Structure formats: structure tokens, C-alpha cells
Amino acid sequence: MSTDTSPLLLDGRALAESIRSEFEPEVLAMVEAGRRPRLVVVQVGENDAAQAYIRGQRRGAEKWHLDFHLEVLPGDSTEGGVRKALRALNADKGVSGILLSLPLPDGLGTRALQHEIHPSKDVEGVHPENLGGLLWARYGLLPCTALAALALIDKSGIEVEGKEAVVVGHSEIVGKPVALLLLARNATVTVCHKFTADLAEHTKRADVVVVAVGKAGLIAADMVKQGAVVIDVGINAVPSDEGPGRMRLVGDVAFDEVSAKASAITPVPGGVGPVTVAMLMRNTVLAARGMPRPDDPGQLPLFA
Ligand code: NAD
């Protein structure tokens, strides 16, 4: 697969579409039976930064024939008030999945409120029970971006067993769950982060590099090995050549130079992002189906 000039471009839009079409017959059957899966996004107060994500989630839900509802709570809501709203959604049989939009206003406990979402409706995979299932390799609903990174590797037929995988970034939502998923695929996993003394020393020996940091150009060509598989999760807005004040989105990887060495690489945009949205919709359908809990005997394979 490895060539000097033309890596395999891991096309997230195509993968997102294939996941959607794989689930479409099941979704249409649910709709037909009057059980259209419903995704509820809970937003507390106005949050401009979250608007682009929420638009993407709404568009994703429409494409997947899912019902989408944005529930906006007042910006001065108390933690108790948000808890109450989440409990009502937990109890509502018509609601399949709940997503708590972040960041929350100051004074509200993110973890405490994520913990309030019932694990069977936790379509972002952030409840400790679902994260615990990740550690056990017995899966409930898993974090969407981590699933997306693994799906881009898996669905391209890239085998990671016995390979050196380096994850750059150790957030709870991306880096740590990606590392656990790669471990479950029997890769040898190193996790790097902002305190790692010599990042390049690690990335240079990686067969697979997953980068989730949020720093444009962090990974340069001299930091990756010839033939590496490179998954770029980062999203950064940088000034565009198109004119003053215009911005464009790039990842954490210096795409042009790294793609000359990689055997496979994700673009930004069009890589991990669209698959993340597809995974959110997939999780909503799984939740509507009735997910096994991590300790249930009937476990789903990771990509059923
Ligand atoms: P975060 O801020 O929670 O974590 C950043 C991580 O990067 C931390 O673990 C930190 O230790 C590490 N880090 C910071 N500087 C570093 C350095 N110089 N060298 C090595 N590691 C360093 O971020 P996050 O929520 O995990 O998101 C990471 C990036 O992924 C962001 O750009 C975010 O926008 C993007 N993201 C993309 C998607 C998607 O769907 N494509 C989804 C979620 C996040």
C-alpha cells in the first residue's frame, strides 16, 4: 500500500454515507412501525461555539430520517434544573438519545450532569458506565469521535494487531478512548500529550498515528515514518489565502508534506468529522434498538 507520492486517502464522507446506508433499512422499518429514533440535544444558554456542531447534528439526523429536537434551557439554569430536564428525557420513552451540548455555563458540573443521562440513552458515550464498557472491551454506547477514528482504520482494511500505534492527545472524549479501542484491536499503544518530553521520538516509530490535539501543523513530515497510517482528528481554523479575514479548516497534521510519506491519511475537512456525525446517528439508532449494557451477555461487535 505504501508509495512515496499517493497515499490512500481515507474518505470520511464516503464512509459516513456507507454507514448511513447500512442502517437505512432498519431506520425506515422503525419509522414505518411508528418508532422513529429521536435525538434530543440539550443546550444550556446561548452558546455560539456549539452552533456549528448542532447544525451538523441536525443535518445528520435529517439525512438518517431521525427525529431531532433541540431543547434550550435558560442560561441561568441551576444544576438541579438541568438534572430535572435530563431526568424527564430519561423517562420519556419517545426519546432514544440525549446529548448534552458543551461547554456548559460556569457553575454547572459537566461530569455530574453527564452522569445524569441514562447510559442506554448516552449517545455520546460519556457516561462512566459506557466508558467502563470500553475498558472491559464489552461495549455499550461509545464516544463518537473515537469510534470514527477506529472505523476509518477498520473499514479501510488496515490491520493494527501487533502494530505500533501512537495516539497524540489524551482527552476523555478522543485520545483515551481511541487508545483503548486500539488496545482492544491488539495494537501496542503509546499515548502522548502535552507533557510528553519528545513527541517526535514516539510518532517516528508508529505504524499508526492518531492525532487529537487542536494545533495546526503539530505533526510534520519528519515526525512520521515512511508508510505510516495517519488519522487526523484535529480541527483548527487558520487564515485562508482567499482574502483578509477569511478562514479555512485544517487538522493537526501538515497534510501536504505528511501525505507524501503516509500510506493512508485522513483529510481535514472530510475525514474524521463526517464519520463522527455518522457515529452519533448510529449510536442513536442503537439506543432506539435497545442497547445491551456493558455487563449483558449479548454483546454487539464493535461495528455491527
Ligand atoms: P482537548 O483540548 O480536550 O485535548 C487536547 C489534548 O492535546 C490533550 O490531551 C493535551 O495534553 C494534548 N496536547 C496539547 N498540546 C500538545 C502538544 N504540543 N503535544 C502533544 N499533545 C498536546 O481536545 P479534544 O476535545 O480531545 O480535541 C482535540 C482536537 O480534536 C481539537 O482540534 C478538536 O476540535 C478536534 N475534535 C474533532 C472532532 C471531529 O469530529 N473531527 C471531534 C472532537 C474533537
Kindly list the domain boundaries of the chain, sorted by start residue. 25-138+277-289, 143-269
pLDDT value for 137: 82
Distance CA(218)–CA(253), nearest Å, equals: 6
* 178 CA from centroid of ligand 1 (Å): 12
Tens-binned pLDDT, residue by residue, of the chain (304 aa): 444 568 999 999 999 999 999 999 999 999 999 999 999 999 999 888 889 999 999 999 999 999 999 999 999 999 999 999 999 999 999 999 999 999 999 999 999 999 999 999 999 999 999 999 898 887 889 999 999 999 999 988 899 999 999 999 999 999 999 999 999 999 999 999 999 999 999 999 999 999 999 999 999 999 999 999 999 999 999 999 898 899 999 999 999 999 999 999 999 999 999 999 999 999 999 999 987 666 665 555 676 4
Helices 175-184, 128-136: inter-axial angle, 10-degree rounding: 30
pLDDT value for 271: 98
- What's at 90, amino acid-wise? N
Task: Report the 10 Å Cβ neighbour count for 92.
Answer: 13
The residue whose CA has the least distance to atom 30 of ligand 1 is 234
pLDDT value for 265: 98
Atom of ligand 1 nearest to the CA of 215: 32
Radius of gyration of the chain (CA): 19
Cα 51 to the chain's mean position, in Å? 17
Distance CA(199)–CA(186), nearest Å, equals: 22
Distance CA(237)–CA(248), nearest Å, equals: 5
The residue whose CA has the least distance to atom 17 of ligand 1 is 194
Ligand 1 pocket, residues with Cβ under 6 angstroms? 145, 168-171, 173-175, 192-194, 196, 199, 212-215, 233-236, 272-273, 276
pLDDT value for 2: 44
* 291 CA from centroid of ligand 1 (Å): 29
pLDDT value for 295: 67
* 286 CA from centroid of ligand 1 (Å): 27
Burial readout 65-82 (b: 16 or more C-beta within 10 A, e: otherwise): bbbbeebebeeebeeeeb
Distance CA(119)–CA(133), nearest Å, equals: 11
> What CATH number does the domain located at 143-269 have?
3.40.50.720
CATH architecture type of domain 25-138+277-289: 3-Layer(aba) Sandwich (3.40)
The residue whose CA has the least distance to atom 8 of ligand 1 is 169
pLDDT value for 136: 85
